[in-house]
Each structure stands twice: as structure tokens, then as C-alpha cells.
Structure 1
Amino acid sequence: QHRTPLLVQMDKLGKSIFISILVMMAALFTFSLLFREMPLTELLLSLISLAVASVPEGLPAIISIILSLGVVTMARQHAIIRKLPTVETLGAMTVICSDKTGTLTMNEMTVKAVITADRIYRVEGDSYAPVGAMHPVDSQTPVSVVAGSLLERYLRTVDLCNDSQLMQDENGHWQVTGGPTEGALKVLATKMTLPPVASALLSKIPFDSQYKYMATHHLVGDEERILLTGAPDVLFRLCREQQTENGLQPFDQPYWESKIAEYAREGLRMVAAAWKPATAGQGALTHQDLEQGVIFLGISGMMDPPRPEAIAAIRDCRQAGIRVKMITGDHLQTAMSIGNMLGIGNAHQAITGRELENMDETQLSEAAQAYDIFARTSPEDKFRLVRALQSKQEIVGMTGDGVNDAPALKQADVGIAMGIKGTEVTKEAADMVLTDDNFATIASAVQKGRRVYDNLKKTILFIMPTNLAQGLLIIIALLAGNIIPLTPVLILWMNMATSATLSFGLAFEAGEANIMRRPPRNPRLHVMDRFAIWRVAFVGGMIALSAFVLEAWLQPRGHSAEFIRTVLLQTLVSAQWFYMINCRVANGFSLNKGLLANRGIWVVSAVLLLQLLIIYVPFMQTLFGTEALPLRYWAITLAIGLVMFLVVEVEKPLTRKWRTA
């Protein structure tokens, strides 16, 4: 169902080769009947040999197996690939759009500041341990919570309008169940030891990214209250008054916006709280109940520190020509501050979801490329951003965890779901699932995707010249009226046994030294580009010429056809083995320490031992039409392979400019 671009290209290549061979077979059949006195059965056998020799029968299966090996490798590194094309697409990805919380950051929020209408407080302590004092920003004297005070009402609100729980495990470590934002507020309330009071939950509106707040209807002591927590800008629109120590005052939005901007520059994420008196005995809480009478209480500024490994991964992505864009629901200044800590591109400027909503498709496409920080966004903004970037020919990866993120992940070239906090709907829509919810895993998957594609191309460049050489030998033999140099069974042995087996050695080759210091590949370029065609023609022609010269040298010396075929078979296998070593490194000398580290090459080299069985075991000699070879012919065939190895190594630097053009 999911055909990779590479497999589609190889299918087309195989069909092109097959059609070319049919035309060649028809031409050779006509030529041989008219100008060569060759028995019809021998002619048909020669043409069948040509067809078998020229078509890389095992290549599609080899490519699929190598892609599957790449999937297994990525799974060990916390990246579960759900769709095979993703392995290829990762290597071509040009943009990664990532959530902030938990992916780029530690997802361990701690309240560092509390802002009320009368006073601003700093909060001590880290992690989820409920340890640390609160003191005014202009004093080091810790405060205590007084019943009935503004601070008590604020802390009571964030404690009750909260779905998280704070627990201590058997080892004494504090943990939070529920969201990290709510968990940080629960820790804050626990630190301050609120005066005891009975409370009961009567009704609730759960948090949702669509409206960005949570509301509860509580009975607190003998008073019924509606409590709210959520995004400051959303609660701003609901409030007309603010709570102070001296009672209610008109809502002072400029004051709150200035404080948010001030503390957001420290990288603090802002969560607001508000309340309103509830009507005794009212029914289930609805959004309409919040349209009037809501009183603003204050704001918590919480820090979610960047992951150290994410900082390094973003740096690696930038070196690899991949732009990282952060998409978050946080305040603009908070997003820019965190982006600057992470080292994201142009973190000095950002754009909000509200601004994106007012743009047409052309303006959105320009903004999507111009900005790397997107604040106060919604899942719908994610979807539009993916399409806008794709309209600029970008290959886009998008992360997500909520149900509403599924359309954006489906639209992206690589949809990336969070394995820990992601919903099942999101995982089903994704191409890749991160089992550790860590951005560094994405960068690692990109590196491995590039490595898999590089090794696939090396494998193709390894297999194709042998097929060309076999075909040329048969064509030359037919044109010259000589015996068939290789029978169909020997050709099948080479294609399905030696070529296929040796190619797997390249699947385990380590990535090139510059794999993450080069731009993403263009997925529209064919794997058989100008250089690939040159390399196949150059190596295939060299192998065919060597075998033809060797055959011409052997024929006058009275050797049997079986002996000559055996020598030619061993020559081709030896050339294959040496050329496999050539293909290890695309741009440098192949005999390096990496050769010893690649155990796969040495395992598949055991195919040379199978040659001993074909050449020296009587039963196999009868089956394959071979004869035993004296030791000196092994030396001759290995020497030919070594010479071709050296020639290809000299060719590499001579064609480097052409290859990178």
C-alpha cells in the first residue's frame, strides 16, 4: 500500500531495462539468424541468458529488506516508524515544526513567580518537591498565607481548579499525575500550606485547547464559587474586574500585559486564575455561565527548562540544513525567550496565531518561511502552517499529541506523534511515534534516515554494474559468434546469491562523516542521476572488458567451455567483492578503520566460500556446469578484482565535483 519513491523509481527502472532488453533480444535474434549460423536452441538459450543477466531481479526485495532493517534500528532509538516511506522521507526533510512543552523542554514545570494586583512574589524550589518559600519580589522575608487574603483566594483557586495529584513514591521522590502545568500549580499550593477548609466539586468544564481554560463549580466552606484557570489572554476577555486586598477594582489590562511581557522575557510560561460567585443550587456548569461576573485574581509564571539534548539536536539540525520551528500556545515573549535558549533560528522575532488567522494563503506562506517561533497557536494553525510550508516545496515534519493535532500530522510529510502523552488518534495519524517524547530522537531519526538512504544508493550502484557486465558479455558473444560465456543458471547464481548476499554488507555501513553537515536531498531527483549512470557504465564496462580479454586469452589455450565459464564466473565474483569495498565510502578512500567495524561485510564475504562448493564439489559441478580451477587462476581473478578496485578509488576524486554538482 505504501510504496516508497525509491521503490517506484526502481520499478520504473526495471521496466525500462526490461523493454530495452526485449528490443535488444529481437535485434540480436534477427542478426544471429541472418549473419550467424547458430542453432536455434543455442540462440534462444543465449537470449534467455541475456534477459536474466540484465534485469536486477533481487533488487526490489533487497531495498525493502534494507528499509526494514532501518526501521528496526530506529525502533531501538525510541523512534517507531509506522509507515515504510517515512525512512526515505526523513532524509529529505527540510523543516521540523515542533511543540515546545515536553518535546523541546523538560516537561517539569515549576512556578517561579506569582503576580497579583497588589504584589508580585518570587517562589523558591525546583522540581515537584513541595519545598520552597514565597517572598515578595522586593524582600527576602517569606510570606505566610492568611485566611481570606487575596493570596489565599488565588492559591485556593489554582489548587481546586486542578485535575492533577501530587504524590510521593516509596523512594521519597515526588511525582505528579496529570498535566505538568496543573501539577506545577498543585505543588505551589502545597508549598504554601493553605488554611484547612472543606471543599466539594459540584461541576466542571475540562480544559480544552479550543477555548484554553478550565472551570469548576466548588463548594468552599459554606460558599459556592466558580473557579477558572487558563491562558491569560482568554481570561482577560472574560473579566471586567480584578480582586485586590481592598476589594474589587476595574480590570487593569495594561498592568497585567506589562507584567506578562516582563516575566515572559525570562522564559516563564503564564497561567492565569479567576473566580466568580456561584448561584446556590445552579445546574451543570456551562460556558455561558462565564460570560459575565468573572473576577481576575492573578497569574503564575512557571519555568519549563529546555532539554539539554534538544539544544544539541537543534544545532545538529541547523548544520544539516533543517530549519526547526517552535509552535506553542505560550505567550509571545515566553516563546521567544525559550526559542533563544534553544538556539532556534530567528528567535528574536515571533508571530501569534491570531495574526496567522487574519492572513490569506499567500501571506501565510511567506510568514511560515520568515518566522521560526509561532506563539498562542491552535491545532488549526498547525494544519495551515504545514500546507503553507509545503506550498513552498518544503518537506515538513510536524509533532503533535492531542486529538486536534491529527489533521496536521496527517497533512505533514512526516507526522510525529508523542508516545507518552499522545492520544491514540494522534498515533494512528502519525508516520512516526516517539516513545520518549524527545526532540533529540527526531534529529537522531533524521540521521539514521539519511544513512539508510545512502546505503540504499550504494547498494543500487553496487548491483547494477554487474548486471550490465553480464549483459555486455552475452551481447559481445552473440555479435562475435562465440560461445555463451555464462549460462542462465550461473547468471541466476550471481544475481540471486552472490550479488544479493554481498549487497547486505552495505546495509550495515556506518553513516558518512558529513551526513549531518550537508543539506537535505531533493526527493524529486532520481536515484539513477548522471553520476549513477556514469558509475554503472564505467564499472560495468570495465568488468565486461576484463572478462572479455580473459576469455580471449583462455580460448586459444584449448580449455573447455566449462572451464572458461568457471574462470569468468570467479572473475565476476571477485570483481563484485572488491567493488563492494569501493561502494562503502562515496567520496573517500574505502580502506579505513570503518571496514573492520562493519561486521556485516565480513559475514557476507562468506559467499566466497560457497564459490568453493560450486567449483570443487562434483555434484555442484554437474548442477552448475563448472570445473575445478588450479590455484593460479584464483590469483589471476583476485588480481583483476584488485586492479579494478584501485581504478575505482582513483575515479572517486576525479568525479567529486561532478558528483556534488
Structure 2
Amino acid sequence: MDKKRPAHNQNVDEFVETYTSDPASGLSREEARKRLDQYGKNELPAEEKEPRWKAFMRHFHDILIYVLLAAAAITLILGHYIDTAVILVVAVVNAGIGYFQENKAEKALEGIRNMLSLEANVRRDGKRHTVSSSELVVGDLVMLSPGDKVPADLRLIRAEELNVEEAALTGESTSVLKHTEPLEKNAVLADRLNMVFSGTTVVSGTGAGIVAATGVKTEIGKINRSMSDIEDIKTPLLRQTAQFGKMISVAIVGLAFVMFVFGYFFRDYEIGELFLSVIALAVAAIPEGLPAILSIILAIGVQNMAGRNAIVRNLPSVETLGSVSVICSDKTGTLTKNEMTVTSVVTADREYNVSGTGYAPTGTIFHNEEEADTRKDSALHHFLLSVKNNNDAELHQDEEGHWGIMGEPTEGCLVTLAEKASTVVDELTVESKIPFDSDYKYMATLVTLEGQKMMLIKGAPDRIFDMAEQEALADGAKQPFNRDVWTQKMGAHAKHGERVLGVAIKPMPEDTEKITRADLSEGVTMLGLAGIIDPPRDAAVRAITECKKAGIQVKMITGDHAETAMAIGKQMGIETGEAALEGKDLDAMSQEELEEAVEKYQIFARTSPENKLRLLEALQAKGKIAAMTGDGVNDAAALKRADVGVAMGIKGTEVAKDASEMVLVDDHFKTIVNAVEEGRRVYDNLKKTILFILPTNAAQALLIMASILIGVAMPLSPVQILWVNMVTSVTISLALAFETLDKGTMERSPRHPNTPLLSGYYIFRILFVAFLIGGGTLAINFTMIGQGYDQGIVTTVTLQMIVLAQMFHLFNCRSELNFAFNKDFFKNKAVFVVSAILIGLQLAITYVPFMNTIFGTQPIELAHWIFPIIMGIVVFIVVEIEKAITKQIVKRKGT
């Protein structure tokens, strides 16, 4: 089957011939079986899932862990089995935390597969059959009815008032009326009105189509394939920690080698003892608890976000949110409610504003800021009667109190409008109907109103204008129809992004039983126009204002028309500029032109899934950290490609949710801002944690290096060093995860993705505290040895000095430069809880016999505790003095 021209570009006869099908009887069963064998089932391929063991082992893939495992191997060779066991336990605990906290099962492709309908109504051998949608083949004749989910991509050969909901695929906020005529070859997806696509839903009408594509060749299949081709990108934090880990590892290995060479040639160490000393140095310098503590802090951030209605599906995305510099937002269902709403009514001599949004019948019709009285306003009264009774939609409320419609969204919002009237609008019996037709663009019904036969007419304004001879006034009088005035009114509302609908009425003879189109040739009275919009979310408008304060750009990327997108953008407070770029403009741009355009323009209309991907890639090429919001299948590939994909939880498709890193429980754009705020808090607390942990490692490394250089016994064994690292990382450092948001955090610009994890000041602070703790501990260690203390007591006191000094230093790290004792000192109760736990652990390692055996410690007298306590107090005071001096220096530089 050679298909050189796309299906939508061929007329019905050409298409039928190309696909060797029969528009009356369909394929034969034998031919369908052959094509199924040849082309395969109408299914999307399942992605091979990563085995659980492999997912677990992946968490050992960290250069810091590699160095730690090498140390374990050497201690095993030297016969120090306890050291080996403790080191391995630490490595396994780290991997376990990462595995359970970062279970990144990819469900996006499975979600897309589930969008295919389970069954399809087809004609084969001239008879109607219900078959599994997976058994459909190219050339099958499929019958469509209201409520059907389209099972494959079909070229329509028959369409009778066929309206299809395609918002999930194209981003269009209203259903699309289909026809069978051929279209231009380069028609974009949203304009292919002679096609229906897999995964979309028939809203009303009937039709039939021949299958043009199945499985991976459908539009959903193309999204599936594009998602398979998209590589997961590393978050800024993962890139920084990976680089940081490599730098630390190279430095540790290099330092250990230099110390080994020095000890071997210039000091009188046995080779085994020297190996142990060098291993102790490596273990001391490695922040082996850092991967675990990062995972735990991110997990706490995930829990906090869940409490604020944002479900984060993988941990690093928490931190990435804090560095987002641009949010690319879909319009329909994200910035807007995806619920059509009448916001204005125009009659010949009055204009009305309508409050309330969505399908909920709560709101008021206003004229001159006062509620309109339909008993005294004849034109408005008849207008509301017409839109309620010349209507096929039904308004309903579900068990949870949410209002919705059955039928066309534009018709449903007119029913809601009638319910907002000051008096009850009667429901009349429809005696005859002219259904909506795409060629005529109007519908009409015959009713008995106030004892007289009346034809109610509703449709495209220009078609109603062609019919109208008179126009109704509020006092019940009529005057000649003025087309120029009505055209101006229509244009004014269309410029505001409103979809305009015309309403008219015509008295009919008393003996009328059936109406025809010929009855509309004369005597029609214009009642008015309804201005309809998909309303912005109020919370989204406020959230965009907050984004501006935080230095975050908001760009609208939608499948809707440019005029509508511009109007909504202005209402949302987005800097729209002079124009919007359309998808066809983006298609014609080179990558360099696109990178310039993506910074200049904020509104992108009539976009395809490929356009969204290119826009994201252009933003990322310019160094932006981009979040993408969406709710439809058409958003899935872009959601996966974005630095942070954000899906709507209520109205979002399962595909969109599974392709994203974050799902909004309440569908509020404001929740994204809350998540960004939480992300910034998490990142700041991560840096505070690193600022707290690294001085411990550096201080211990300083102790070991000084001992080798001087040629004395090691002050701590590798197992004791691991204990210090773990209790400072996995206990007291956790308290920093609960620190509150620093003042002014949401008023600073997003950090650049290449901003180093450690600033120059952080490096200075780490070295300063390391020399303070390491130097002080070494001095007291030598003093105690000189005074004849037992080596076991000296070792135990040394261990306690380092740990308690870090505990006091924890309070220094709660704020980078502000004084520790401030109004928020007692706000973070976790600091005091973990400090109590740490004291308990240190008492256990000192006085519990089996821990003495494992860690080589021994009980000490009460008087010996004076050394660690004084050490901690000195560290706290000195660092607070340093912070005060640094703060003054920063202030002077700022002025």
C-alpha cells in the first residue's frame, strides 16, 4: 500500500482506493487476518522494565562509594574483618535508602497504551462486528457513535454532526466538528477535520471512517515513540554532586597516595599499619553519608510538597524546582479551567456582564453593575429562553458536588447561563428541530412560547446576521436590524478572546408542526450575542504575579488560536508583547532562530507536540531550567523532556501524569509556585547540610595526616571514623532539613544551573571549621598522651570531642550569616531532638560493652567529658564571631 499523500489530503474515493477497502462492506475477514499478520496488532510496544536487582545495584554507582568499597577490600585483605563489615554495611545502607526513596518506575508508555479503547465497531464482509481494538488493521471500516473512544486514526468517509473531543491530543478547548472533504497537505493536526485520532472521544453525532494508521503509526504512537527517544536529563543537583564526588575522590586518592609514600620513606611504620593509616585517612575524608543524607532531605521535601498538593515522583526534582527559571504552561485546563463560560451578553440596546465561571450555575447577570431583571427586560428574557431550549446539552452535578455537562461545551455553558437568571427560565417542549450542520452553522427548534409558536435560532453570528430583519429591544419593541453595529459588537468581543454566538427568534404560524431551513428566509428577529471564554483560573493569575517577583518567566504554549491565546495571556498577566508565534512559524525556523525567538516571545499558539519539544530544547540550550505544565496526551513528550514535568492531577490524563516528575493534586497553578518555594528551601538546606558535614571529614583527615607527618599512632581507627561520619550525617544533620524558608528567598532570581555547589565562602568556612576542630582535637589529644592517659581513654575522648564539636557547630549552620540565637531559634524542634539522640548514641558507644568491643572504645570518667564540652563551646563561639565579621564585610561590599 503506497501512501505517498497523507490521508487527510486525499478525497474519499482516492483514500478508499489507496487502502483497498470497501466503504460499504469493509474488509473481508480473510483480508483483515492477512493484514494483521503483516502489520501487527493495534498496540504500542511495552518498554522493557529494569530488574529490581539492577535498580538496587545502580545506587552503588557513585565514585565516593567506589573509594569506600576499595577501602573495604584492603581491610579484608589485611584481616581487619570488623572494619570490612562496618564499611560494607555503610555502603549497603546508602544504597538501600537511595533505592527505596528513588523508585523511578517509568509508567508513561503503559499509560499511553491504556488510552486505546478496548473494543471497536467494524464492518467486515458487509456485517457489523464488535472486535478488540488490538485486532484493527489499516483499511478496516469503523462505525462511530456518541461516547465512543476512537480506536485508531481514521479517515472519515461519513460524518453526521460528528463532534469529537480532542483537547487531550491537540489542546483545543472545544470539541471539533468533523467533515469528509479533503484538506491541504500541510494542515496541522488540530485542523485535520476529516480525521479522527486514536484516544479521542466522540461527543455527539455519528460517523464512519477507514483506519489509516494503527499502533505506533497513530498520532498517539508518534508521541510514544518520541518519548522513547527522549533521554532523561540530569538535574542540576545530580550534575553538581557528581562533579563534586569526582573532585573529592581524586583529591582523597591523591592525598592517600602522597601520605603512603611519605610514611613509607620518611617514617618508621610497618607496611600493614601504614596501610591501615592510609585507609583511615581515605575513610575519614570520604563523606560517605552524603548520598544517603541528600536522599533523606529530598524525601522530606517530597513529603512537605505532598502536604501542599504537589506529588513529586522522583527525588531530585524537588531540588530542580528550586532552580526553575521558566515555566512553559499549556493554556487549556492549566491556566484556564477547560470549562466554557458565558461572560457577556449583548442585545441591541444593552450589554450584560455575567459573573461566575465554569459549569456551576452560580453567578449573576449584571447590567450597569446591577442584577438584570429578566421580568422587565424582554430581549434578555427571550434570549435566555432561546439558549436554554434550543440546546442539546444537559447540566448535572456528581456525588462530590462537581458540576459538569453532557454534550457540547459551548451548549453546556448556555444552559448554565440560563440558570444564573434572576427568575426561573422555563423549560419548553421541543416540537421540531433543525440540527446543527457544519455547512449552515446554525441550529433551530420549534416551541410554543407564551401561547404562540416560535422558532428559536442559534449559531455563527454572520449566519444569523444574514437572516435577521429586526432586532429586539429591552422594552419589548423592535427596530430594523443594523448589521454594521452588530458586526462591530462581535469584533470587539472577539478581540477579547471570546467565542461569539448569535441568537435569534421568529414567530411561526399556529399550525406549524415542522420547521425547515426555508422558514428562515424572512421574519427573523435578532436577540443578541453571547460571549464565551474558557476562563482563566484566578489562582493562576496570582501565581504568575508571584513568579515575576521570583524572577521566573511564564510562557504559554497552546494549540488554540493566536488571538485567543493573546487575549487569555493578557488576562493572566503574561507579558504578551505585540504578537504570538504560531506553530507554522516555529516549523520554518532554524535552531538558532528558535533560540532567539524563545527568549523574545511569551505566547506560542497552534503548536504541535514537536513544536513543544523544540521550544523546550531551545530554552535548555540557552541555559534555562524549564518546567512544563500540561494535562493532555499531546503534552506527554514535552513533560518528559522538561527539567520538571508538571501534570494536572484532576483533569490530567494518566499519560501526562506518568510522563511527569510532579502531579498537582488540585490542578492549581499556584501549587507550582508553592513547589518552587519548597524547592528553594530544600536547596538552601542541602547547602547548609554540606556546610555542616564536610568540616567533620576534613577535621578527621587533618588528624590522620598530622599523625602520619609527625609519626605517632593514629588517634582514631577506620571503624571509629565511620561511626563519627554516620552519626553526624544520619542523625544531627537531618535537623537542617526542617529549617524554615529564609526571608527574601522568593524575591531573588533563580540560580544559574552552573552555580557551584560550594561558593568561595563555603570553602573557606569548611576549611576554617575543619582546622578549628581538627587542630583543637589534636592539641588536646597530644596533651592527654603527654599527661600519661591510657590510649583507650584518649581515643574515646578524641572521638567525643569531634562529635560534640559538630553538634555545637550544627547551631552555627542553621543560618549562613545570621546570629544563631534569634527569634526562630526554637522554631525547628528537630535540632533539639536529634541533639538528644546524638548524646544517647555517644553514651552508648562509650558505656555499652558490645559497642566497646566493635568500635574499640572504653568507658570514661565524668571529669573526662569536660574536654569535649569545652571544645564544642569554643567552636560555637569562634564560628559565631567569624559569621558576624563576614556579614559586616558583605554589607560593606554591597554598599
Question: Is TM > 0.5 for Structure 1 vs Structure 2?
Answer: yes
Q: Which has the higher contact order (CA 8 A, sep 6+)?
A: 1
CA distance in 1, matches of 2:632, 2:469: 39
Match of residue 652 from structure 2: 422
* Counterpart check, 1:642 vs 2:873: yes
Match of residue 283 from structure 1: none
Residue range with higher mean Cα deviation, 98-107 or 535-544: 98-107
* Counterpart check, 1:243 vs 2:467: yes
**Preserved CA contact (<8 Å) 1:270 1:331:** no
* Counterpart check, 1:457 vs 2:687: yes
**Preserved CA contact (<8 Å) 2:797 2:867:** no
Match of residue 126 from structure 2: none
Equivalent position to 2:801, from 562, 565, 571: 571
- 1:326 is displaced (CA, Å) by 4.1
Correspondence 1:347-366 to 2 at 5 A: 349-351=578-580, 353=582, 356=585, 360-361=589-590, 362=592, 364-366=594-596
Match of residue 489 from structure 2: 259
- 1:193 is displaced (CA, Å) by 3.6
**Alpha-carbon spacing, 1:540–1:271, altered in 2? closer, same or farther (3 Å):** farther
Superimposed CA distance per residue, residues 382-424 of structure 1 (whole angstroms, 9 cap, x where no aligned partner): 4454344334322222221222222332333222211111112
CA distance in 2, matches of 1:627, 1:219: 96
**Preserved CA contact (<8 Å) 1:531 1:658:** no
- 1:604 is displaced (CA, Å) by 1.4
* Counterpart check, 1:270 vs 2:499: yes
- 1:449 is displaced (CA, Å) by 0.8
TM-score by length of 2: 0.60
**Preserved CA contact (<8 Å) 1:166 1:183:** no
Correspondence 1:223-238 to 2 at 5 A: none
Match of residue 412 from structure 2: 183
Match of residue 27 from structure 1: 258
Q: Percent identity?
A: 43
Correspondence 1:27-426 to 2 at 5 A: 27-100=258-331, 103-104=334-335, 110-115=341-346, 122=352, 126=356, 128-129=360-361, 142-143=376-377, 159-160=391-392, 162=393, 165-167=395-397, 175-177=403-405, 182-189=411-418, 192-193=425-426, 195-198=428-431, 242-245=466-469, 258-263=488-493, 269-272=498-501, 299-302=529-532, 307-327=537-557, 339=569, 342=572, 344=573, 346=575, 349-351=578-580, 353=582, 356=585, 360-361=589-590, 362=592, 364-373=594-603, 382-426=612-656
CA distance in 1, matches of 2:582, 2:483: 20
**Alpha-carbon spacing, 1:566–1:587, altered in 2? closer, same or farther (3 Å):** same
Match of residue 744 from structure 2: 514
**Alpha-carbon spacing, 1:182–1:380, altered in 2? closer, same or farther (3 Å):** farther
Residue range with higher mean Cα deviation, 379-388 or 475-484: 379-388
**Alpha-carbon spacing, 1:450–1:351, altered in 2? closer, same or farther (3 Å):** same
- 1:470 is displaced (CA, Å) by 0.6
**Preserved CA contact (<8 Å) 2:464 2:503:** no
Number of equivalenced pairs: 615
**Alpha-carbon spacing, 1:215–1:632, altered in 2? closer, same or farther (3 Å):** farther
**Preserved CA contact (<8 Å) 1:150 1:244:** no
Paired amino acid for 1:577: M
Superimposed CA distance per residue, residues 297-321 of structure 1 (whole angstroms, 9 cap, x where no aligned partner): 9752146665554344333222211
**Preserved CA contact (<8 Å) 1:616 1:628:** yes
Paired amino acid for 2:285: S
Superimposed CA distance per residue, residues 52-92 of structure 1 (whole angstroms, 9 cap, x where no aligned partner): 11111121121112112211211121111123332122111
Paired amino acid for 1:595: F
Structure 2, unpaired ranges of 5+? 1-103, 105-231, 448-454, 472-481, 505-525
**Alpha-carbon spacing, 1:341–1:5, altered in 2? closer, same or farther (3 Å):** closer
**Alpha-carbon spacing, 1:132–1:648, altered in 2? closer, same or farther (3 Å):** closer
**Alpha-carbon spacing, 1:447–1:166, altered in 2? closer, same or farther (3 Å):** same
- 1:512 is displaced (CA, Å) by 1.2
Match of residue 674 from structure 2: 444
| SS of equivalent residue, structure 1 residue 645 | helix
Equivalent position to 1:583, from 785, 802, 813: 813
**Preserved CA contact (<8 Å) 2:385 2:418:** no
**Alpha-carbon spacing, 1:86–1:434, altered in 2? closer, same or farther (3 Å):** same
**Alpha-carbon spacing, 1:330–1:245, altered in 2? closer, same or farther (3 Å):** farther
CA distance in 2, matches of 1:43, 1:493: 21
CA distance in 1, matches of 2:365, 2:264: 100
**Preserved CA contact (<8 Å) 2:387 2:418:** no
| SS of equivalent residue, structure 1 residue 427 | helix
CA distance in 2, matches of 1:273, 1:387: 43
Superimposed CA distance per residue, residues 321-345 of structure 1 (whole angstroms, 9 cap, x where no aligned partner): 1122345677777766665555x25
CA distance in 1, matches of 2:369, 2:855: 89
Superimposed CA distance per residue, residues 504-531 of structure 1 (whole angstroms, 9 cap, x where no aligned partner): 1111111211211111111222313433
Residue range with higher mean Cα deviation, 387-396 or 431-440: 387-396
> CA-atom RMSD, angstroms?
4.4
CA distance in 2, matches of 1:438, 1:120: 35
TM-score by length of 1: 0.79
- 1:378 is displaced (CA, Å) by 6.5
Superimposed CA distance per residue, residues 117-176 of structure 1 (whole angstroms, 9 cap, x where no aligned partner): x676536564633886698999977555899x998776655x22x4x5244979xx7833
CA distance in 1, matches of 2:265, 2:875: 37
Residue range with higher mean Cα deviation, 552-561 or 304-313: 304-313
**Alpha-carbon spacing, 1:36–1:268, altered in 2? closer, same or farther (3 Å):** closer
Match of residue 191 from structure 2: none
* Counterpart check, 1:616 vs 2:847: yes
**Preserved CA contact (<8 Å) 2:324 2:627:** yes
| SS of equivalent residue, structure 1 residue 129 | coil
CA distance in 1, matches of 2:774, 2:442: 81
Paired amino acid for 2:417: L
CA distance in 2, matches of 1:270, 1:303: 6
**Preserved CA contact (<8 Å) 1:146 1:195:** no
